[in-house]
Chain A
């Protein structure tokens, strides 16, 4: 029976109360361990298509008569358009239309950040469109820009009130401590740099709008476009069948889509609006910078007595305040915790979610300072973490739906034990060490999400659901789940996804939610089909016969199963956990760091596809290494203008920066969570990487880094400081 419930919905650490209609999830979970298909490594069902270049991404799409749009964006951090004349653009060859402020809601005269869209043109070729934008006659009135996040907070330039979380009595906790350590940590702005830049191709077909877009959420794009244009949502069709990465930056339509929509309306032609790589590195979103002032109090045995954090999120001109204080509040059992998180509003490009937003940054600060504490107490860092393990959610005492962090620690032991041997391989100038860090993050998904499964007389099945595979392999995982439930080979399942006109509503692919939200719906749909097939088999006197044999009587008939994601377990906290152990070599004279090995042990419930899961672990760690060592968006300090707009200056890691990665998953179904017991793995692997590397550097050299990225400058500073500390015999962490 359909049931209306009020539930808490979480995406990327943001919660909202929503009403959802759910159907009871009556299926029992499969027993733990590999099944016939689920739990066994499967190569991607679309691997060949992708490798052969046959998979059509938004960037590949060429519609007949399609025009190309380009956008005039503010070159200044804060400016007003004093004068704007589109006429010179319209006179250029190939140009079909030009629009400015007032023509589309996203185009503005008042620009609060570099890259704010002001006007746009469309032309027959991308080069003509760019030339036309350059020809627009525009006069800027530059305005004073707020750039320093701490000055912004002091001056009241903020996004809402500071977020305060408090439990127990922090001052009493510090008073009871035998040792108090404190430190200030800073993290930089990093850029998603998806391989496929943000883009959309749109066309009007009568009063229906067709939008092809590189997105993590076709339904959200449909909703936002319909609301903005004031047209019924079913007059908007949104398609994304293959996409080249989003990492949190592609959850909404973006200015480029609305520009394309208006230009398509005016010209009656399909219009593509694609960000260039340089635009991508300015306006497509970022992981915002943070400042973290942290204090930890503990008993001599390591028991945490107080945690205190004051955080500044440098949100930029727009966006939201990511849960940077989350790890301090949720990672360890501690009775007395107080965090204050400010959201600075500056004239810099808006942040967007980026793979575990807030938790990556907050874990770096907390876990780095925790190792300083371990050193002060002369405790093994792993043992210190064990002693503060939280048996229930520290925020509110709720029980966990499932938690195997202690098992992760246990499995990390052999990797952790290597530290003696690793350190022993140090030389006079190259010091080696091992560091670890824990991980907590969301990843439980939730309703609503729906799927259909259709089985034909040939015994083959098609999963139909308008979800998206953002490159993580969810297409393959859904096929595995359907094949498992139907008892048919994986090769006999096709997945149709990525089109709001073809299939029911499906979850956003953000917050590590695709598998935990969609997987149970797909299994429920497959089970519904299987039940019908079993009923037919019984009537045929073939109870228990294989699916293919039963459905062979159908001819053109089909079995149609439908399924929905059930509710999350009431009153339980659903989280993912893990630990990573990093081995590094540090050249103490040049500040060079080699990450030589990272072992990652994560607990995300049942693993659907071990091969896909290992890819997620590797991808998260590689992205984490970039965040830790080389990636840094640099802005001109006086004007706030972004300087690292090209991939020459913005240094993503290359394969030479990638170490041996050993991934391991606890792979025990979360017995309380859905008919699968699976959580998401998209984000957890990037969460502890920076902290584990920083702690390994500390283990190797005694240098305490306080900033990301750990550049030569920062590491040479920390090494100098460590030498000085050793000279005067001062304790660490003061």
Chain B
């Protein structure tokens, strides 16, 4: 495996690496086998200016950034551990893979090209309660849920798109979890100002836990957007009702948990 420093945003098909908190564990686990890694820290913007956040900005920098909405600051602060937040970049956080233990252990599940979702029939207490018919993996990013609630725009080397369109619910004809194309790099994220916003999280321990359920809510003018982390294979824009939830036998508790956090988030915005 080769590692080189990028001199331009075109990585030439190599796998980009910034803080390494996502890529390195995947490589070590054998889940990612890149021929070439390219360190993009020198070319991807870092820092916040007029509501545009460079994709190379670390979570630690964002949790201390007064100019961004509170939901995003909180989502960063409640993610991972201080050490990981000092290294992990915003772009990498948005592209992190699921924590589904079957996927992480390399079981031949649908996301790995197989024909089964082991979690659906097996151990799924931390898995998805929405859109889980094909793959029950849960999206782990607190930050993505915050950006989805804030209706942020992702700027890549090739296009601009609403953050929700960065993600794709895996299905039989297209198993990808993001819409990013080969060689396409996230450059920055534009975050509109919100009148009020909040991020609430329930984890498996006090800190250093992926969200069992994370709830982001943002109010702008008369409208409020709510997005959830840890409840679907992608960051999940909440319709306002949990009627569409399809919990599995051992994760129905997540519906109750999410309902409680949504109530609280809305109360906090009021």
**A interface residues, Cβ below 8 angstroms from B:** 589-592, 594, 629-630, 634-638, 641, 643-646, 648-649, 651, 653-654, 656-657, 711-713, 716-717
> CB distance A712 to B202 under 8 Å?
yes
A635 touching B123 in the complex, CB below 8 Å, given contacts A646-B104, A653-B205, A657-B206? yes
**Do A590 and B257 form a contact, CB below 8 Å, given A648-B99, A654-B205?**
yes
A712 touches B212 (CB 8 A): yes
Q: With a CB–CB cut-off of 8 A, which chain B residues contact A716?
A: 253, 256-257
A656 near B125 with CB under 8 A, answer: no
A654 to B208, CA, bound (A): 8
Contact pick for B205, options A635, A638, A645, A656, CB 8 Å:
A656
- Inter-chain CA distance A629–B204, complex, in Å, is 8
Interface residues of B in 238-270 (CB under 8 A from A): 250-251, 253, 256-257, 260-261, 263-264
A651 to B204, CA, bound (A): 7
Q: A592-B202, A654-B205 are in contact. Are A636 and B123 (CB under 8 A)?
A: yes
* B257 with A649: CB separation less than 8 A: no
Distance between Cα atoms of A589 and B213 in the complex (Å): 13
How distant is the Cα of A638 from the Cα of B250 in the complex, in angstroms?
A: 15
| Tally of chain B residues near chain A (CB < 8 A) | 29
Is A654 touching B202 in the complex (CB atoms < 8 A)?
A: no
Partner of A645, one of B99, B105, B202, B208: B105
- Interface membership of B101, Cβ < 8 A: yes
| Nearest CB of chain A from residue B230's CB, rounded to whole Å | 12
Q: Which of B166-222 contact A (CB under 8 A)?
A: 202, 204-210, 212
13 additional A-B residue pairs with CB within 8 Å, beyond A641-B105, A649-B99, A653-B205: A592-B202, A629-B205, A636-B102, A636-B123, A637-B122, A637-B123, A643-B102, A643-B105, A644-B101, A654-B205, A654-B208, A657-B207, A713-B125
In the complex, what residue of chain A is closest to B122 when comparing beta carbons?
A636
Q: Does B121 belong to the interface (CB within 8 Å)?
A: yes
- A629 vs B202: C-alpha distance when bound (angstroms): 14
- B253 contacts which chain A residues (CB < 8 A)? 591, 712-713, 716-717
**SS class of chain B's interface: helix, strand, loop or mixed?**
loop
Say yes or no: B257 contacts A712, CB within 8 Å.
yes
Per the bound structure, the CA–CA distance linking A646 and B210 in Å amounts to 14
Q: Measured between alpha carbons, how far is A448 from B125 in the docked complex, in Å?
A: 49
Which A-chain residue is minimally distant from B212 (CB atoms)?
A712
Give the docked Cα–Cα distance between A646 and B105 (Å). Answer: 10
- Bound Cα distance A649, B105 (Å): 11
Q: Which residue of B lies closest to A648 (CB)?
A: B99
Residues of B within 8 A of A629 (CB): 205
Inter-chain CA distance A635–B122, complex, in Å, is 9
Residues in B whose Cβ lies below 8 Å from that of A637: 122-123
- How far apart sit A210 and B257, CA to CA, in the bound complex (Å)? 56
7 pairs from A and B in contact (CB 8 Å cutoff): A590-B260, A649-B101, A651-B209, A656-B205, A656-B206, A656-B207, A657-B205
Q: How far is the CB of A623 from chain B (nearest CB, A)?
A: 14
Q: Say yes or no: A648 contacts B210, CB within 8 Å.
A: yes
Bound-state CA distance A609–B35 (Å) is: 56
Could you tell me the distance between the alpha carbons of A645 and B107 in the complex, rounded to whole angstroms? 14
Contact assessment for B205 and A589 in the assembled complex, using a CB-CB cutoff below 8 Å? no
Select one of A594, A630, A641, A646 contacting B204, CB under 8 A. A630
Q: B99 — which chain A residues lie within 8 A by C-beta?
A: 648-649
Residues of B within 8 A of A656 (CB): 205-208
Please report the C-alpha to C-alpha distance between residue A629 and residue B209 in the assembled complex, in whole angstroms.
13
Considering only residues 69-104 of chain B, those with a C-beta below 8 Å from chain A are: 81, 99, 101-102, 104
Determine how close the nearest CB of chain B comes to the CB of A181; give it in whole angstroms.
Answer: 27
B250 touches A713 (CB 8 A): yes
Contact among A592, A643, A646, A654 with B207 in the assembled complex (CB-CB below 8 Å): A654
B130: interface (CB < 8 Å): no
Write the chain B residue with the least CB distance to A588.
Answer: B260
Min CB–CB distance A624 → chain B (angstroms): 14
What residue of chain B has the Cβ atom nearest to residue A589's Cβ? B260
Whose C-beta in chain A lies nearest to the C-beta of B207? A656
Complex Cα gap A592–B210 (Å): 15
Chain B residues, Cβ within 8 Å of A657: 205-207
B249 to chain A, nearest CB (A): 11
**Chain A residue contacts of B104, Cβ below 8 A:** 646, 648-649
Q: Which B residues lie within 8 Å of A594 (CB)?
A: 206
Contacts of A717 in B (CB 8 A): 253
A645 to B25, CA, bound (A): 14
Q: Which residues of B contact A654 (CB under 8 A)?
A: 81, 205-208
Identify the 8 closest CB pairs spanning chains A and B, nearest first.
Answer: A656-B206, A589-B260, A643-B101, A713-B253, A656-B207, A630-B205, A651-B204, A657-B206
Q: How far is the CA of A634 from the CA of B207 in the complex (A)?
A: 20
Q: How far is the CB of B98 from the nearest CB of chain A, in Å?
A: 12
The reply on B118 being an interface residue by CB < 8 A is yes
A residues within 8 A CB of B250? 713
Separation in Å of the A547 CB from the closest CB of chain B? 50
CA A651 – CA B260 in complex, angstroms?
Answer: 24
Q: Compute how far the CA of A241 lies from the CA of B122 in the bound complex, rounded to whole angstroms.
A: 44
Shortest beta-carbon distance from A124 to chain B in Å: 19
Give the distance in Å from the alpha carbon of A658 to the alpha carbon of B264 in the complex.
26
Asked if A636 and B118 sit within 8 Å, CB to CB, the answer is yes
Which residues of chain A are near B261, meaning CB under 8 Å? Answer: 590
Complex contacts, B205 vs chain A, CB 8 Å: 629-630, 651, 653-654, 656-657
Write out the residue numbers on chain B whose beta carbons fall within 8 Å of the beta carbon of A648. 99, 104, 210
Contacts of A590 in B (CB 8 A): 202, 257, 260-261
Q: How far is the CA of A636 from the CA of B120 in the complex (A)?
A: 11
B161 to chain A, nearest CB (A): 30
B135 to chain A, nearest CB (A): 16
Residues of A within 8 Å of B257, CB to CB, are 590-591, 712, 716
Residues of B within 8 A of A643 (CB): 101-102, 105, 123
Could you say which residues of chain A place their CB within 8 Å of the CB of B264?
A: 589
User: Once the chains are docked, how many angstroms separate the CA of A711 from the CA of B209?
Assistant: 14
Known: A589-B260, A651-B204, A713-B250. A634 touches B210 (CB 8 A): no
Most A-side CB within 10 Å, residue of B99, B207, B209, B253: B253
User: Which interface residue of A594, A656, A712 has the most chain B CB atoms within 10 A?
Assistant: A712
Cα distance A644–B105 in the bound complex, in angstroms: 9
